[in-house]
Structure 1
Amino acid sequence: MNVLRLLMVDDHVMLAEALSARLAEVTDLWVVGHCATSDPRLSDVVRQTRPDVLTVDVEPAGAGTGRLLAQLQRIRPSTAIVVLTGVREPGQAIAAARAGVAAWVPKERSFEELTEVLLGVCRGHSWYPPDLLGPVLRELREDAVRAGERNGPLDVLSDRERDVLTRMVNGKRGAQIAEDLLISAETVRTHTRSILAKLQVHSQLEAVSLACSAGLRADDEPDLVR
């Protein structure tokens, strides 16, 4: 794995510095800096440091959480964003998911759990705590309903892309999907990027929610002849 560039955005400077020091000891991570959420230079810092993954505390943003996260996504679309915060507000979690945020990690989680999430999001994984995941999925499904549920929204996918999406709905990860379909993990990532683009969503979480709204279910997964 290439070393991942990590930028931490948090108004609690001492906490950010302490956590940065610990994360700097992780072999696969390179902490390129930290910045306050309210810093007017935040956009410039993101452009200059070019992070692969960015942690951000949304507590100071409040109702502006969606705008802040969407702005960060626009500045550097390839960066995986992880909310690292002490708040557990469903409305902010929903706004984060809509903005394409890959994961939401409460600050009380262990260092080991945080590290696993940071490395995982760069491999296409998503993670939200169980108490927030339910409201997030329900609201994303409602978004699909309010958008009119385009006729046959999954019809834009190729057969292989649909196979990959079905397994995502079933909770399988890249390596499991690759094994099921007898393809490489890189091919799974390529199909996943194509699925997100065709469905016009920002994350696997949104793709799964849209697929469920369109009626894709676990029993739709075909048995493959090996």
Structure 2
Amino acid sequence: MNLVRVLMVDDHLMLAEALSARLAEVSELWVVGHCATSDPRLSEVVQRSRPDVIALDVEPAGTATGRLVRQLRETLPSAEIVVLTGIRDVRQAVDAAREGAAAWVRKESSVEELTAVLHGVSRGHNWYPPDLLGPVLRELREDAARAGQRNGPLDVLSDRERDVLSGMVAGKRGAQIAEELLISPETVRTHTRSILAKLQVHSQLEAVSVACAAGLSVDADADR
């Protein structure tokens, strides 16, 4: 079995360290480090440690769970995300799955179960507990159905570009959008240029006008 590099991301650092020590006893796993979920250097830690799997506690993220998972996926696309948390929140589970989290495991799970999931996702498998799997699959099916029905002017935009555009509609500056989306101001500028090109407009004001005419809901997108 191949060695799997694991990064622990959890605000409860003492628990993360204790679990890391237990996982270190598993010969096929290598815990390459741990970092707080709220650490502003999280992306740097991920890039430096280059894990195969990121074990992530989403409890501190709350409604920003989807954005956090997306940030990690964009930082290191090759890494799989395993949510390792003590909570059962259907909305957070759906948001995590929507943004590409491969698994959801509760902290009270045994080391053997966690080890099996970590190895499984490294081979392309997915795992959600039965009580969350139903709502997650239902939401993803509805997403697919909505995607098949799209024909509006904003449908050329990616989800992240829609997030940036929502911030523009709300009158936020680039730095504030970057902070809320957990991306850099330069990334916001890149998305903004892409938005203008895709919408075939020449200014942010025109882009906002198109978004408002298309009925872009700032509140709905902000909570996604």
TM value normalised by structure 1? 0.65
1:55-70 residue pairs with structure 2 within 5 A? 55-70=55-70
Q: Partner of 1:130 in structure 2? A: 130
What code does the residue aligned with 1:67 have?
Answer: R
Instruction: State the SS of the aligned residue for 1:6.
Output: strand
Deviation at 1:2, TM superposition (A): 2.6
What code does the residue aligned with 1:80 have?
Answer: E
Measured against aligned partners, the alpha-carbon deviations of 1:78-130 in whole angstroms (never above 9, x if no partner) come to 10110000111111000111111110001111111011000110011110010
Q: Partner of 2:34 in structure 1? A: 34
1:161-172 residue pairs with structure 2 within 5 A? none
- 1:22 and 1:91 map into 2 onto residues whose CA distance is 30
- 2:69 and 2:114 map into 1 onto residues whose CA distance is 19
Q: Which runs of 5+ in 2 are unaligned?
A: 151-224
- 1:144 and 1:56 map into 2 onto residues whose CA distance is 26
- 1:8 and 1:103 map into 2 onto residues whose CA distance is 14
Rg: which structure is higher?
2
1:1-226 residue pairs with structure 2 within 5 A? 1-148=1-148
- 2:3 and 2:144 map into 1 onto residues whose CA distance is 37
What code does the residue aligned with 2:54 have?
Answer: L
Instruction: State the SS of the aligned residue for 1:33.
Output: strand
Runs of 4+ in 1 over 4 A off after TM superposition: none
- 2:118 and 2:5 map into 1 onto residues whose CA distance is 10
What code does the residue aligned with 2:87 have?
Answer: V
Instruction: State the SS of the aligned residue for 1:124.
Output: coil
- 2:45 and 2:4 map into 1 onto residues whose CA distance is 17
- 1:145 and 1:2 map into 2 onto residues whose CA distance is 38
- Which structure has greater helix proportion? 2
Aligned residues with identical type, % of pairs: 73
What code does the residue aligned with 1:121 have?
Answer: V
- 2:2 and 2:129 map into 1 onto residues whose CA distance is 27
- 1:148 and 1:18 map into 2 onto residues whose CA distance is 46
Instruction: State the SS of the aligned residue for 2:22.
Output: helix
- 1:79 and 1:28 map into 2 onto residues whose CA distance is 17
Q: Which runs of 5+ in 1 are unaligned?
A: 151-226
What code does the residue aligned with 1:56 have?
Answer: L
Instruction: State the SS of the aligned residue for 2:148.
Output: coil
- 2:120 and 2:133 map into 1 onto residues whose CA distance is 17
What code does the residue aligned with 2:91 have?
Answer: G
What code does the residue aligned with 1:30 have?
Answer: W
What code does the residue aligned with 2:24 have?
Answer: A
- 1:20 and 1:107 map into 2 onto residues whose CA distance is 12
- 1:130 and 1:34 map into 2 onto residues whose CA distance is 28
TM value normalised by structure 2? 0.66
- 1:100 and 1:143 map into 2 onto residues whose CA distance is 13
Deviation at 1:3, TM superposition (A): 1.3
Instruction: State the SS of the aligned residue for 1:147.
Output: helix
Aligned length: 150
Deviation at 1:149, TM superposition (A): 5.7
